[in-house]
Every structure is written in C-alpha cells, then in structure tokens.
Amino acid sequence: MVIQESAENYLEAILMLQEKNGFVRSIDIAEMLNFSKPSVSVAMKNFRENGYIEMAYNGSITLTEKGLEIAKKTYSRHKLLSELLMMIGVSEGTAAQDACKIEHDISEETFERLKELHGREKAK
C-alpha cells in the first residue's frame, strides 16, 4: 500500500485527535496541521471518496479500517522514533519534528531493527 506523505500526516492527525479529544472535525485538523480550512476540506473529500474516512452529518470524522491501518502504522513509527531520539539526548520538540520527517521514509527492515533495539534498551 503506497500513500503519499501528506496523506499519512492527515490520517495520523485524525488518529491523534481522536485519541486526545474523542472526536475529530475538519477545523481541528486544520489547526493541528496549520493548514487552511479549504485545504483540509478538499483533502477530507478525497479521503472520503477513497474510503479512508467517514463523515457524519454533524461533520465529525472517523477513520475507516483502511484509514486506521495507515494512521496506526504512521503514528507507531512516530512514537518509537521520538522515544529513540529522546533516549540519545534530543529535546522532545526536536525529536517529534525529526520523527515526523523520518517516519515516512524509513524502510520496514530498519524500523523493525529499531523496534528491537528499543525493546532491548527498555528492558535494561
């Protein structure tokens, strides 16, 4: 499954907002990602048409199984990479920014080795 980085960021943001607030609206996504409301509206229309999200009559957004799979994968990469970067002394803010850049490009093989390393370090 190949999806563009911007789409991964949107889906990850939806998941993060869902976990934080219990609900997600387009305005929440726009504020979190610092995008314009019209840009988010266009993206949500595309996600809805491609089966990544569903929108309720009141405007609340939920991820479909297809969208949730991508969001979880991206978010889990983000969290692990942030933790690893902080373990080596990177500040929390910089670690989060750098993890966001790395999470989209890292190979599955490298990510799996980093997960193993992280597990060993946490077990110490």
CATH number for the domain spanning 27: value is 1.10.10.10
Dump pLDDT digits (tens) for 8-27: 999 999 999 999 999 999 99
Domain match, 39 and 82 both: no
Question: Could you list the residue range(s) of the whole structural domain that residue 18 is in?
Answer: 5-69
Contact call for residues 48 and 32 (beta carbons, < 8 A): no
Domain match, 105 and 79 both: yes
Domain count, the chain: 2
pTM: 0.85
Domain match, 10 and 65 both: yes
Domain match, 90 and 107 both: yes
Neighbours of 82 (CB within 10 A): 22
**Cα-to-chain-centroid distance, residue 101:** 11
Position 1 scores a pLDDT of 45
pLDDT of residue 73 exceeding 70, the answer is: yes
Position 6 scores a pLDDT of 87
Domain match, 12 and 64 both: yes
Rounded to 5°, the CA angle 5-11-13 comes to 100
Give the Cα separation of 27 and 100 in Å (integer): 21
Contacts of residue 21, defined as CB under 8 A and 6 or more positions apart, other chains included, come to 28
Q: Which is more confident, 4 or 49?
A: 49
Domain match, 81 and 63 both: no
Give the Cα separation of 2 and 22 in Å (integer): 28
The b-or-e profile of 11-37 (16+ CB within 10 A means b, else e) is: bbbbbbbbeeeeebbbebbbebbebee
Position 2 scores a pLDDT of 52
Domain match, 54 and 80 both: no
Domain match, 60 and 45 both: yes
Domain match, 20 and 55 both: yes
